[in-house]
Amino acid sequence: MRKVSLVLLGAVLGASAAGMALQPRAFFGSAAEAAGNADTYRQLNLFGDVFERVRSDYVEKPDDAKLIESAVNGMLSGLDPHSSFMDAKAFKDMQTQTSGEFGGLGIEVQMFENQIRVEGAIDDTPAARAGVRAKDIITELDGKSIQGLSLNQAVEKMRGPVNTPIELTVQREGATEPVKIKIVRDVIRIRSVKFNVEGDDIGYIRVSQFNQQTFEGLKKSLEDFDQKIAKDKLKGYVLDLRNNPGGLLDQAIAVSDAFLERGEIVSTRGRNPDESQRFNARSGDLAKGKPIIVLVNGGSASASEIVAGALQDHRRATVLGTRSFGKGSVQTIIPLGGNGAIRLTTARYYTPSGKSIQAKGIVPDIESVQEIPEDVKGKDETKGEAGLKGHLKNGDDEASGSSAYVPADKKDDKQLNYALDLLRGIQSNANFPPAAKSSSAN
């Protein structure tokens, strides 16, 4: 099966699929159809004429490669907001993001008062073993100042081939002199799943994206809860998908499958009927039937909407929060040799009950709106898919997106605390627990 992506990230096609994508028939159909399409070739001649005129007459000598890249990107971006061209570097970055692995140090960093500050060192990574601490301010890399670098530029310099050394110079709280730390890069796995026990009776699972490590991270979280929460105390689970932009389709299917005993998880439908696919759950609920509340907001998109939609349609979980982003399309990544790749929208996806959430989003069973601080108001709303120029249309009742604000401090997180109260029986709602599964969710 081709590996596909559901957000602005992507997945890499297998070598055979990539080869087919490079053949002319992948774009024109049969050779006979292409030869007979005179209008198409006239338009291609028009492109050639414009290209040559720009090369010969533009006020400054243009770069041919950039001209062609711009033309290709213009063609793709004119289709919908999620189709685009990636140059070789962008393609490599996308592969790193979706694989969930890269050569690096194992630290999480943020920009803080125009400085690169360490938020934490990931357990059992080179940075953790070398003694990098939270709140360390990185000032130099290999003896060179990083002042003026953006966060992405600094991260790019810290990443590199496995087994290569780098020296960090940091300012540390309580230290009178800069601290120099020598580290050897190793394979780092991006943690898309973080989890903890809330109180002593609820398992909280935060999924930030769907990369190749996500399902394994989910399994690890459930195994950890089995060890830390007594069976007679476990009230249930909170699956937090807020501000999760999506990722890999196969991982969204695997996460949904983890909580379902049977039935359809999602279906995808392309332009041609024979391209439709259905994905079904296999027997075995890893949560053993315990109640689940799924948190969503305006930043929950694509793969996260697949999970929320599947668990909602099967009445396996209650969805709480605000309307999700509404990205209901599938992107296929087609490599172009050593020249990057194209990200092309190839299908729409549908929840088990047959609903398309394209430009509509997942409507929560229980709406819960965060209290927005004054300094954030007006900046917290996502346009949603329905607000994107050129999006795929889905009827006249389009509406998607909502606030994407999540408080940094859990005590201020109204949605999470409501979910915890519902699981503990402190508060009640007619939609929790969910009613019996409807017959439409097969």
Q: Give the pLDDT confidence score for residue 14 in this predicted structure.
A: 29
Q: How many residues does the chain have?
A: 442
Q: Is residue 304 flagged as an active site residue? A: no
What integer pLDDT is reported at residue 2 of this predicted model? Answer: 36
Q: Closest Cα to residue 111, out of 82, 84, 150?
A: 150
End-to-end CA distance of the chain: 23
pLDDT in tens, 255-294: 999 999 999 999 999 999 888 999 999 999 999 999 999 9
Domain 1-100+190-442 fold: 2-enoyl-CoA Hydratase; Chain A, domain 1 (3.90.226)
The catalytic position among 302, 304, 329, 400 is 302
Note whether 273 and 290 are within 8 A (CB): no
The verdict on whether 327 is a catalytic residue reads yes
Q: Which of 136, 313, 365, 413 is catalytic?
A: 313
- What is the DSSP secondary-structure string of 217-260? HHHHHHHHHHHHS-TTT--EEEEE-TT---BBHHHHHHHHHHT-
User: For residue 298, which amino acid is it?
Assistant: G
- In one-letter notation, the amino acid at residue 245 is P
Q: Where are the domains of the chain?
A: 1-100+190-442, 101-189
The mean pLDDT of the chain is: 88
The residue with tokens 């409807």 is 438
Residue 21 has pLDDT above 80, yes or no: no
Active-site entry in 235, 290, 327, 360: 327
Neighbours of 350 (CB within 10 A): 21
CATH number of 101-189: 2.30.42.10
Q: Are 324 and 362 a contacting pair, CB within 8 Å? A: yes
Q: Which pLDDT does position 100 carry in this prediction?
A: 84
Residue 223 burial (10 A CB sphere; 0-12, 13-18, 19+): exposed
Q: Which pLDDT does position 34 carry in this prediction?
A: 53
210-260 residue pLDDT tens: 999 999 999 999 999 999 999 999 999 999 999 999 999 999 999 999 999
Q: Residue 30: what pLDDT?
A: 55
Q: Quick one: how far is CA 144 from the chain centroid?
A: 33
Q: Which two tokens stand for residue 157?
A: 């310099």
